[in-house]
Amino acid sequence: MAAPWEDVLRDPLAVREAAAVAVDAALLEGVLMRTEAEPNASDVVNFAPFTLLPSAVPRRLFQQAYAVQQDFNLLVDAISQNRQFLERTLASTIKVDDFTARLFRIHMQVLEEGLAQSVFLGINRSDYMFDCGPEGTAALKQVEINTIAASFGGLTSRTVPVHQRVLKVLGKSQEASQLLPNNPSEGLALGIAKAWQLYGSPSAVVMFLVEEVQRNIFDQRCVENELWNRNIRVIRRRFRDVFEKGSLGEGRRLYMDGQEVAVVYYREGYVPKNYDQQNWEARLLLERSRAVKCPDIATQLAGTKKVQQELSRPGTLESLLPGRAEAVARIRATFAGLYSLDMGAEGDKIAAAAIADPGRFVLKPQREGGGNNLYDEELKQVLEKIRDSPERTSYILMDKIKPQPALNYLLRAHSPLQVSECISELGIFGVYVRQGKEMVLNTAAGHLLRTKAIEHADGGVAAGVAVLDTPYLV
């Protein structure tokens, strides 16, 4: 699946000229991030890292990823409503993983009290890599589905004109015209707007719940802008603000500084470091409220690695999506091998297999945000240490996906221009809205291609490993 610019990669002068154009185009188009030195100020900003050239993506797999997105939306939504399934699936995990346990306790507490929320909004991103099989044909394999704070739906739309410009400069106008338009933030905002409308208080606001450190603010502003353009007010607050100034009124309506909040859009709250005791209390307050949470805590739990692993068991998808055999088949076709490390014979066997051949697997804890998974020698060492202890149940094992690398240049501020062997990961944004039992919106809202050098096993754009890219369909 080579892209038609292998010639360019061997022409250092052309690359240098194109890279200078690319960086200026990125700044002009708003492919922006705040700096590490000043993550909470916009006085000095930089371009978000991106590839010099678009990466080749097999058209067939790209279409397959879009075609299964509505199925994944239905699946995540079904899991979030299935108390027994979440309870059973997470039982072993919450005994050893404190973070998942705390989320789970809030989930239970909210259910015991009875849900005040009746409109549900899901924004997720299903991530895939292109596994290179023995005969050299690539297959679409899901890495994971992100059900909370799935990012880069804003910035990704802006790499298209940048890459178009680069290709034109390199004399490839024909190829430039074939890059697909892509604007996930519009679809994300449509979902938020729909949920806001169904909530039914025209004066209520949408609250973006944001992190203390806000380097990726421009990505979020893209979604905000779409909402302001629809005359929907947006406020940005942190957990700390909610703890200090949030309250519940009649019917558990949520108020911040006296303003009613219709929708809470989390770009925060997905890793343990986001929480201290006050933040946990703030999270509980939000979850108890009538406001539409994107996601509600059940949907966040539906995105755990443990749930992903249980979905791959024969019969599980069928029981979660009864009467939807075609959707089940489309979903299952994207699964890589996933294995439980629960105590017992099944877990013992796979742990031994992974210790014997660590290069075949990835060991994953219940964490998000990149940089947590274990590979190769490290996988072996950790698994050897925990193989006989219940601690192993906080992890799952997954078959390692092995994509075919391709050459590209990764453009980063203050970094030398050098060619790298790279692999790419495709994400599809899913958006859905449910009112009571009725699904009123279910769409695929766009895509994100991220590319990294092969020497990095793990990590996303925010973690400084992967960079933004644009697919060139082949």
* Residue list for the binding site for substrate: 125, 148-151, 214-216, 220, 267-270, 450, 461-462
Reference 151, options 240, 217, 73; nearest CA is 217
Q: How many residues does the chain have?
A: 474
Q: Is 415 a catalytic residue?
A: no
Q: Is 306 a catalytic residue?
A: no
Return the residue matching tokens 């998808």. 317
Q: Could you say whether residue 77 binds ligand ADP (CB under 6 A)?
A: no
SS3 letters for 288-319? Answer: HCCCEEECCHHHHHHCCHHHHHHHCCCCHHHH
Q: Could you say whether residue 143 binds ligand ADP (CB under 6 A)?
A: yes
Burial (CB < 10 A; 0-12, 13-18, 19+), residue 337, is middle
Among 1, 26, 401, 426, binds ligand ADP (CB under 6 A): 401
- Site track for ligand ADP across 170-209, x = CB under 6 A: ----------------------------------------
Rounded Cα distance, 311 and 320, in Å: 9
Q: Could you say whether residue 400 binds ligand ADP (CB under 6 A)?
A: yes
Residue with Cβ nearer ligand ADP (5 or 429): 429
User: Interacting stretch for ligand ADP, rule CB under 6 A, among 67-75, 132-140, 216-224, 366-374?
Assistant: 366-374
Using the 8-state DSSP alphabet, how is residue 322 labeled? T
User: Interacting stretch for ligand ADP, rule CB under 6 A, among 95-103, 326-334, 345-353, 362-370?
Assistant: 362-370
Selected catalytic residue, list 125, 194, 380, 392:
125
- Residues 439 and 77: beta-carbon distance below 8 Å: yes
Span 430-459, contacts to ligand ADP by CB under 6 A: 458
- Residues 263 and 207: beta-carbon distance below 8 Å: yes
Q: Which residues lie closer than 8 Å to 437 by C-beta, 6 or more apart?
A: none
User: Interacting stretch for ligand ADP, rule CB under 6 A, among 62-70, 187-195, 394-402, 408-416?
Assistant: 394-402
- Residues 205 and 234: beta-carbon distance below 8 Å: yes
- Residues 227 and 234: beta-carbon distance below 8 Å: yes
Q: Is 392 a catalytic residue?
A: no
Selected catalytic residue, list 46, 92, 146, 424:
146
∠ at Cα 125 (122, 128), nearest 5°? 150
User: Interacting stretch for ligand ADP, rule CB under 6 A, among 31-39, 87-95, 116-124, 359-367?
Assistant: 359-367
Q: How many residues bind ligand ADP (CB under 6 A)?
A: 18
Amino acid identity of residue 102, one-letter, is R
Give the residue numbers annotated as catalytic, written as ranges. 125, 144, 146, 151, 305, 364, 368-369, 450
The footprint of ligand ADP (CB under 6 A) covers 127, 143-144, 336, 362, 364, 367-370, 372-373, 398, 400-401, 425, 458, 460
